[in-house]
Amino acid sequence: MLPLTAELRGYARRLTHDEVQAEDLLHDAFARIIAVDNWREIDSAAAFATRILRNVAYDAARRQKVVAIDFVADLEVFGLAGAEPDPEASAVARDELRRLRAIVARLPEQCRRVFTLRKVYDLPPGAIAERLGLSVSTVEKHLVKAVRLCSEALAREDGRPGW
Confidence grade of residue 160 (pLDDT, cut at 50, 70, 90)? low
Return the top range by mean pLDDT from 20-34, 87-101, 131-145, 149-163.
131-145
Exposed (0-12), middle (13-18) or buried (19+): which is 124, by Cβ within 10 Å?
middle
pTM for this structure? 0.48
Q: Decide which of 11 and 158 is more confident.
A: 11
Q: Which amino acid is at 2?
A: L
Q: Decide which of 37 and 110 is more confident.
A: 110
Residue-range domain boundaries for the chain: 1-84, 86-163
Question: pLDDT tens for residues 33-70?
Answer: 877 777 667 777 788 888 888 888 877 776 665 444 44
* Strand, helix or coil for residue 163: coil
* Residue 141 pLDDT: 94
* Residue 64 pLDDT: 63
The domain 86-163: what is its CATH number?
1.10.10.10
